[in-house]
Structure 1
Amino acid sequence: MMAAISTRRLACAGRCFVLSLLMCMCTLANAHSGHSDNDDATVRAVLDPLPASLEGVRVQLRRTLAPQLLISNETQQPLTVFDDDGRAFLRIGSGDVEADLGAAAFHRSNTLMAPGAFAADASQAPNWQIVEPAPHWGWFDLRLRSNDVAVPNDIQQRGKRAQVGQWRVPVQLGDERTAITGRFEFVPEPQGIPEARVTATGPLASSTLVRAMNGSARSGVFVSYRGEQALLVYGAYDEPMLRFGDGGVDVNRHSQTWQQIAPAGAPDYIAGEGADWATVSNQPNYGWVDPRIGFIDEVAATDESVVLKRWSIPIQLGEQRATIDGITEWKPVTPLAKAE
């Protein structure tokens, strides 16, 4: 019988993870202080669209100090994740997450520092334990690391985004074997970045903090609402998407925009008409990725700030319809000099 890991053990694991993360930050800072011919910071893992057989499973790829896969499985079947030798080391679903503590792949991908502490051939007898009481999990899968991905000289000299490799994580949902796949892309040093900015908030000006969230092509909006009337935010298809009130923030699970942007662990999209509200925050504050304000197209080389797009997000405050308006600009950046 599979036993659950104790709360004390989970807390200890959490403290160890934080310590490892801090140690890794120092290690990475030292490792990247020098120059290399193929700086792996210019090669990124990118997630492919999921196969139809994984319908109901939500997968995100996040880049922090290393690529991290985040999975939420609300289906009735467990999602099993395999290492390159075909040994299962994670089962996500059926209300919890189980890990094979005897599998080296689990330990080597559980924290950033783990690959240096656990050898690839250090696996022992299977030892399945519950490690999370909900069907959500994230891990730093080594197959997404770009350190050993070579970038041909002609691609570097061309200075354009290009595919330079592929990655694959074998999985099984129920009885069907498939894979989560992606590619490695060479990304040249940016000559600038798109930056979104809120320019007008209409009737929200006196009661609400509205800010654009930047940092990637998938820009977003953060709203902190302190008004007395209900605030509705409409999606890209003019459908009710978010509802702010004193008790927190709700999302319309029938929103087509929510289907595109829902983060792992959030209420799932459900096809349907009208509104089906579910809570996403117990406070009247929420931030979300919004496809209306991001910019993913190429920008012609320019040394000056230019407006890439103007955007509006429809809202309704009580009975009053209005918009949150803004612009997304191109901001040139000066490349940092590399140490020789």
Structure 2
Amino acid sequence: MRCLNNSRPPRGRRYVNLLAVPAILVWAAVAHGHGEGSGEDKGTVHAVLDPLPPELSELRVQLRRTLAPQLLVANPTGKSLVVEDETGRPFLRIGPDHAEGDLGAAAFHRTNALMAPGAIPAEASEDPRWAVVEATPNWGWFDLRLRTDSVDVPDQVVDSGKTASIGTWSLPVQFGDTVSMISGHFEYRPDANGMIQANVADLGALQGKAMVRAMPGSSRPGLFLSYYGDSPLTLMGEQDEPFLRFSQQGVEANRNSPTWATVAPAGAPSYVGNDNGSEVLWARISGGSSYGWIEPRTSYSGRVENPSQPGLVKRWQIPIQIGDSRSQIQGKSEWFPIEPEADKGH
């Protein structure tokens, strides 16, 4: 299986979907609800992507966990990938030249719009109205079949305190003339007692020109940067797009940056976006030379293999440009176990 680079997902419009639908589970028992955003304190449920079948090996597919499970697909082939909804109706066509959405299909809007639950019911579909939604053969969407909010966890799984597979999900697709499936499973992961801490390891060309520190956070750690160089400094986003710019005039954010769309704080200039993603739209966010922001590339939401021991879980890079020169900030994120209160003193 060919996987996408986690730091550069395929370009495409990103929308958040807050709807939830029941998942078809392998387990049938009296159970607890433990979705990713459920607030339960014993564990969480994650959607996991299984290896692609051989007939889909030319695709690049990634499952990201943001505000909801998000599938990202890049199709570099000369064939079209058609994705079907729960009723078997096609609502996405990715490739060979661009990505198309069926604007008449409720599934297209339900997986790509920020709305209150029930704002667009599943039966609201109309006649097919296909339109180009992305100029490249890439697309990302929040498929409701991957949502974990309504996934139930059996009592015996919670009580075991161990990671367990508790159900499956699947998306029917057609790749060229071949009918296939993108599939995965739901995995219950008990909460580990500990925290992820990011650290800056190498400033690259910023050495002597800036102070960069990692700001700890529960699930969304950030970075703080104070710049005192002469030439403008540009930090690149997750898709290598201009993201933040530091100069003697202050700090600016690119309102067309998909990375800014995910981290912009309340009250800051909002994400605008454009069709080709190439135009830069700077907006001042600070009159000084320092700024702190949530940095998704420093976070880690995967499984900690040995939660009782500290260890490295991720290395990360932030590409930068100073004047015409490219470099990068490098860092690492580590797991540190925390001794439960009840165990202290024993």
Q: What TM bracket, shorter-length normalisation?
A: 0.5 to 0.7
2: CA distance, partners of 1:108 / 1:313 = 33
Aligned to 2:142: 140
Amino acid at match of 1:308: G
In the TM superposition, 1:25-64 aligns within 5 A as 37-41=32-36, 42-64=44-66
Aligned to 1:328: 334
By relative contact order (CA 8 Å, sep 6+), the higher-ranking structure is 2
Aligned to 1:184: 186
In the TM superposition, 1:270-281 aligns within 5 A as none
Deviation at 1:135, TM superposition (A): 1.8
TM-score by length of 2: 0.56
Aligned residue pair count: 256
CA contact (8 A) 1:309 1:327 kept: yes
Pick the aligned partner of 1:116 from 101, 115, 118. Answer: 118
- Seq. identity, %: 45
CA contact (8 A) 1:307 1:329 kept: yes
Aligned to 2:305: 297
CA contact (8 A) 2:310 2:337 kept: no
Give per-residue Cα distances to partners, 1:5-64, cap 9 Å, x unaligned.
xxxxxxxxx99x68x88xx9xxxxxxxxxxx94232221111112223223322222222
Deviation at 1:90, TM superposition (A): 0.5
In the TM superposition, 1:144-163 aligns within 5 A as 144-163=146-165
Amino acid at match of 1:298: N
Distance 1:179 1:213, change over 3 A: farther
Pick the aligned partner of 1:195 from 194, 197, 202. Answer: 197
In the TM superposition, 1:32-111 aligns within 5 A as 37-41=32-36, 42-111=44-113
TM-score by length of 1: 0.57
Distance 1:313 1:122, change over 3 A: closer
Deviation at 1:76, TM superposition (A): 1.3
2: CA distance, partners of 1:64 / 1:125 = 32
Structure 1, unpaired ranges of 5+:
1-13, 25-35, 229-245, 250-264, 266-279, 301-305, 315-322, 336-340
Instruction: Pick the structure with more helix per residue.
Output: 1
Distance 1:209 1:170, change over 3 A: farther
Deviation at 1:195, TM superposition (A): 2.2
Give per-residue Cα distances to partners, 1:122-144, cap 9 Å, x unaligned.
22222212222222222211100
2: CA distance, partners of 1:129 / 1:144 = 25
